[in-house]
Chains A and B, each alone.
Chain A
Amino acid sequence: MNDLPDNPEIQRGGAFPHDPYSTNFHSHGLNVSPEGLLDNPFRHMLPGSTHDVVIKLPDDHACGTFWYHPHKHGSIAMPFFGGMYGLLIVTRCSDGLESVPEVAAAKEHVMILGSIRTDQSGDVPLYNEDATEFSDGDAGLWSSYTDGLLFMTNNGLTDQTLFMRPGEVQRWRLLNAAAGLNKLVSLEGHSLHLLANDGLTLKKMKTLEVEEPFVLGAGNRLDVLIQAGELGVYLLQVADPIGIKLSASATGIDPDTRRSRVGGDFPSPDYPVTLATVIVSEEEMSMSLPSGDLPESDGLPSMETMLNTEPAEIRNVGFESCGGEQTDENRLPSCGWYYEEYDTDYWGGIDFENLLMMRNEDDQGEDNPDDDLAMPQINYTTEGLFARSEPMFEMAAGSIEEWTVYNYTFSDHPFHIHTNAFLLTEVNGTELEIPQWHDTVVVPAATGVRGGGNINDATPGSITFKTYFNPEYSGEILMHCHIITHEDIGMM
């Protein structure tokens, strides 16, 4: 039921964010149809209206940690600022993680890590209808949030306390529900024992070093076991992404320290941020951690099938960014052409300088005779910003394909695709020791040149995966950056 206020009568129009109080319902990670009353992100639920969402889970759906949130294009960010999301747990499959005795014995806690964002008076105001750029500066889309408040929440609170007994093993279901902030999560004095990414089990439990943070990208879930150490007080924290040397990521491959992880939410929090105070007290418990293989998630082809099947298609996608502090010399060759395409009319009568794009990288355009990157002679044929009428790819139902997503920007962008999870095989061209299922993965920023340098001289970050398009759930499938503020302006 949508009880949000009426949409403003006069709106800027074009592709600019619009209908801020319309909504709909996305079941993030569920392997169900993207059409009809199911996981359909194209529905438009107006303020004052009530709608059914009916989702039938298949008999063999994976057990795990999924979530729900609105997905009305052009109006997703504000509900995220307000905490409008929740967890979807599919549980008690006889062959799920619960069949592992050590996991079944562990007490469970849900931790929804939000980033509530308001103006100075605690309100969630509208974006700036006259914005000419993506920022929280005066001319920015988010100018109404300048000097605003950011609450880094755990289940809606900023001051949580959790008790454990020495030796106790608990299962925590973490969700990063931030509109854009990737979070480096760690627990003082303890290791994270990783069980599942995005609700889908790892082949084997993976134990990080003591206090080694895990990069939980916006939209990611992590099922993790914690075994409490000695009596004491330990903080569950989000670490400062600046200056941290770590190999931790969903994949274990991520050698670079990057300022870029800060991007996407304004303002940045004061790191480290405490998500919970964990107090280990009382008498000791004798519990153990699992060893050996974890059960494979249901509802997906086996890892062997995925890896041994020749891909029906190989496709390349790029996250690209035009605008900001770029000059004619240091921007991507695509920018010139796309600036012509996305002009004043496109943005509803006012120029908008930041193009945050998701592009078909197999569309190479035509040569630029001048070698001048600012000139629009390079004629790309596909859209860079979201256009429902022009799908980027058409995949055959039932096929297995291999995709690489490149990041031609100096900040991280989490890639998410609806309906079907994918088997991640490479990050930055390095093969994973054991591939992992995901529905959302941070595509690392470009490296080799410092941010603000010439992106054309940098090495793009990349992820490579194989994916199976389950023919039961064909239809229009969205993919986008899970920094919601990027998605709302077309990075989809």
Chain B
Amino acid sequence: MKRKSIFWYAIGYVFFSILLLTACSDDNDNEDIYDRFFVEPETRVSSDGILSTTLTAAFTENTITYVETGELITVNTPNYEGSLVGPTLISILVIFYPLK
């Protein structure tokens, strides 16, 4: 089994990594309309065996439904990247995987 030998996750070096991030971001185009209802975390995918990205930990505000009352509540919580769930980091080990 051939595998790429170097796979890195790097978190840090803000300016450097933002550049790389644009190249690494994943967008799931051509998914059918039904997928738009179910919200999933942002994905960041490795490219040529390297995933270089920055995670910022900070308090940020988000709104969320409190199901007991149906109210939309603003919460101020520590999190990554301003979201109530951090990005999904995806490392692709084999480049030449047969596509579906």
Contacts and interface: CB of A to CB of B under 8 A. Distances in A.
Contacts of B54: 1
B23 interface: no
A336 interface: no
Contacts of B95: 92
Contact of B78 (A79, A92, A105): A79
Contacts of A155: 39-41, 85
Contact of A124 (B14, B77, B86): B77
B89 A156 contact: no
A392 interface: no
A256 interface: no
A44 interface: no
Interface in B1-43: 1, 3-14, 34-35, 37-41
Contacts of A474: none
Interface string B74-89: 1111111001111111
A357 interface: no
A116 B79 CA distance: 11
A159 B83 contact: no
Interface stretch (A47-55, A181-189, A367-375, A479-487): A47-55
B57 A153 contact: no
Contacts of A81: 77-78
Contact of B37 (A105, A163, A273): A163
B93 A63 contact: yes
- Of B64, B75, B85, B97, which is in contact with the most chain A CB atoms at under 10 Å from its CB? B85
A244 to B, nearest CB: 21
Interface string A92-107: 1111001000001101
A157 B94 contact: no
Interface stretch (A82-90, A215-223, A426-434, A451-459): A82-90
Nearest to A123: B76
B73 A122 contact: yes
A158 interface: yes
Contacts of A177: 85
B93 A53 contact: no
A270 interface: yes
A51 B89 CA distance: 18
Given A3-B58, A122-B76, A124-B76, A156 B37 contact: no
A274 interface: yes
A65 B100 CA distance: 20
A54 B3 contact: no
A83 B84 CA distance: 5
Contact of A160 (B9, B38, B62, B83): B38
Interface residues of B, number: 55
Contacts of A123: 75-77
Given A95-B1, A160-B39, A87 B92 contact: no
Interface string A190-204: 000000000000000
A325 interface: no
A162 interface: yes
Contacts of B100: 104-105
A385 B84 CA distance: 31
Nearest to B6: A56
A156 B78 contact: no
Given A86-B86, A124-B76, A5 B59 contact: yes
A91 B85 contact: no
A4 B59 contact: yes
A109 B80 contact: no
A4 B10 contact: no
B88 to A, nearest CB: 4
B47 interface: no
Nearest to B5: A59
A82 B34 CA distance: 29
A86 B85 contact: yes
Contacts of B85: 83, 85-86, 112, 114, 153, 155-156, 177
A110 interface: yes
A88 B64 contact: no
B6 to A, nearest CB: 7
Contacts of A21: 78
Contacts of B76: 118, 122-124
A159 B64 CA distance: 9
Contacts of A82: 59, 77-79, 84
A94 B7 contact: no
Nearest to A57: B7
A61 interface: yes
B39 to A, nearest CB: 5
A239 to B, nearest CB: 16
Contact of A110 (B41, B55, B73): B41
Contacts of B89: 68, 86-89
Q: Which 6 A-B pairs have the closest CB atoms?
A: A86-B86, A82-B77, A156-B84, A163-B34, A3-B58, A52-B12
Given A1-B54, A112-B41, 17 more contacts: A53-B11, A57-B8, A59-B5, A79-B57, A83-B77, A84-B78, A92-B94, A92-B97, A107-B35, A112-B85, A122-B74, A123-B75, A123-B76, A124-B75, A153-B64, A155-B85, A158-B65
